[in-house]
């Protein structure tokens, strides 16, 4: 095993996320644009967690009371969804930062309970979600049908209401033009593959999100097992191509990686698209042991190079060349920590 690479497949898997969709049985499903119902959802959830004794560590964020940059930065870190931003005037989120657990209130469903874990660890993420879900269920009544399961705004979430996803870095499969084959493989087992921010997003930085497509008719354990098995298969496929490149084309591989290192540690302006290209090569080099960089640091760059994160960091609105300069400065600063 390469130094710095764990048994949790962190050479390919950036993170694992589990999300549960829940709705209160006595409140209309769609609360977007209906602040009176959204407010009831938020207060009921906060009170239920307090009554269950599991509210410790959670901070309440009402999106309308936050700056635009602060709430967008949360979405960039995937602590809240981009869809939640669309309901900023009525939406809220309870976030427990120490273990990346979020209860979103007022998105497509009344509640979206999610947990994110580094590397491939869907079981731990699911356990964190279910602890919150179980605590809430002891205090409130969710919309549930004995035959269908949990009732949700989107039919594809009806059933367990669970989405399990892996965020994966697949540069060699992408470069070898194998993603079409990967898409067929993923669809064959009833899963989806999308870009870094889910449905409708691009695979920036060769990052893909693999998740279950439907939740009806399968248990939570079956869904987690299916996503995990497919994730392991994709890791093996990606690593086979990495090993081949290292054995048969080491100089071109090293050139690509060290050019990325040179750009990231010296550039004074860094457009976002260029960042993603260099980041992908940098992470590949770190995962393969060509660069002595901790993978958590490389992964942290993904968030900190985004526009809202940079505006929060700079404490001012940024755009154009000023934004590109701030991104380059922040990247150099963070990579300097590894020296």
- List the Cα angle 91/92/96 in 5-degree steps: 155
Ordered by where they begin, the domains of the chain are 13-240 (3.30.590.10), 250-336 (no CATH)
Question: CB of 305 within 8 A of CB of 73?
Answer: no
Average pLDDT over residues 146-168: 93
The CB density around residue 129, as the number of other CB atoms within 10 Å, is 24
Burial of residue 247, with CB atoms counted within 10 A of its CB: 0-12 exposed, 13-18 middle, 19 or more buried: exposed
Is the pLDDT assigned to residue 225 strictly greater than 50? yes
Can you read off the two tokens belonging to residue 216? 């009806």
Q: DSSP strand E in the chain: where?
A: 13-22, 59-62, 92-96, 101-105, 111-118, 144-145, 149-150, 162-169, 191-194, 207-212
DSSP state of 145: E
Helical segments of 8-100, H only:
35-52, 68-76, 82-85
Average pLDDT over residues 116-126: 97
Burial of residue 336, with CB atoms counted within 10 A of its CB: 0-12 exposed, 13-18 middle, 19 or more buried: exposed
pLDDT 10s digits, 162-208: 999 999 999 999 999 999 999 999 999 999 999 877 666 678 999 99
Task: Please tell me the predicted confidence (pLDDT) of residue 2.
Answer: 46
Look up tokens 């005037």; give the residue: 89
Task: Please tell me the predicted confidence (pLDDT) of residue 134.
Answer: 97
Task: Please tell me the predicted confidence (pLDDT) of residue 1.
Answer: 42
Please state the separation of Cα 44 from the chain's center in Å: 27
Task: Please tell me the predicted confidence (pLDDT) of residue 175.
Answer: 96
The whole-angstrom separation of Cα 109 and Cα 27 is 11
Task: Please tell me the predicted confidence (pLDDT) of residue 321.
Answer: 99
The whole-angstrom separation of Cα 70 and Cα 167 is 23
Task: Please tell me the predicted confidence (pLDDT) of residue 33.
Answer: 64
Percent above pLDDT 90 for the chain: 83
pLDDT 10s digits, 270-313: 999 999 999 999 999 999 999 999 999 999 999 999 999 999 99
Task: Please tell me the predicted confidence (pLDDT) of residue 3.
Answer: 47
Please state the separation of Cα 28 from the chain's center in Å: 28
Q: How far is CA 53 from CA 173, 179, 250, in A?
A: 46, 46, 56
Task: Please tell me the predicted confidence (pLDDT) of residue 215.
Answer: 85
């Amino acid at each position: 095993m390469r130094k710095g690479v764990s048994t949790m497949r962190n050479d390919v898997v950036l993170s694992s996320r589990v999300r549960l969709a829940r709705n209160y049985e006595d409140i209309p499903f769609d609360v977007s644009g209906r602040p009176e119902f959204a407010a009831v959802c938020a207060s009921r959830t906060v009170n239920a967690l307090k009554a269950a004794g599991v509210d410790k560590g959670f901070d309440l964020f009402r999106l309308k009371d936050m700056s635009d940059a602060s709430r967008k930065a949360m979405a960039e870190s995937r602590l809240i969804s981009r869809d939640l931003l669309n309901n900023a005037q009525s939406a809220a989120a309870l976030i427990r930062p120490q273990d990346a657990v979020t209860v979103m209130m007022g998105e497509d469903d009344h509640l979206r309970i999610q947990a994110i874990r580094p590397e491939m660890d869907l079981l731990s993420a699911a356990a964190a979600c279910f602890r919150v879900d179980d605590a809430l269920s002891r205090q409130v009544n969710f919309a549930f049908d004995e035959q269908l399961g949990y009732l949700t705004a989107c039919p594809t979430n009806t059933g367990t209401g669970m989405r399990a996803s892996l965020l994966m870095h697949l540069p060699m499969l992408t470069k070898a033009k194998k993603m079409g084959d990967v898409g067929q493989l993923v669809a064959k087992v009833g899963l989806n593959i999308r870009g870094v921010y889910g449905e409708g997003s691009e695979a920036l930085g060769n990052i893909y999100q693999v998740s279950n497509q439907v939740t009806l008719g399968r248990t939570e354990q079956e869904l987690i097992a299916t996503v995990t098995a497919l994730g392991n298969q994709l890791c093996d496929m990606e690593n086979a191509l990495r090993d081949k490149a290292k054995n048969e084309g080491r100089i071109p591989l090293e050139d690509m990686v060290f050019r990325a290192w040179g750009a990231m540690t010296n550039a004074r302006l860094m457009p976002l698209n260029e960042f993603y290209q260099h980041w992908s090569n940098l992470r590949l080099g770190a995962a393969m042991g060509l660069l002595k960089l901790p993978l958590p640091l490389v992964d942290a760059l993904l968030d900190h190079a985004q526009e809202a994160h940079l505006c929060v960091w700079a404490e001012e609105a940024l755009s154009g060349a000023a934004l590109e300069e701030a991104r380059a400065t922040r990247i150099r600063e963070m990579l300097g920590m590894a020296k």
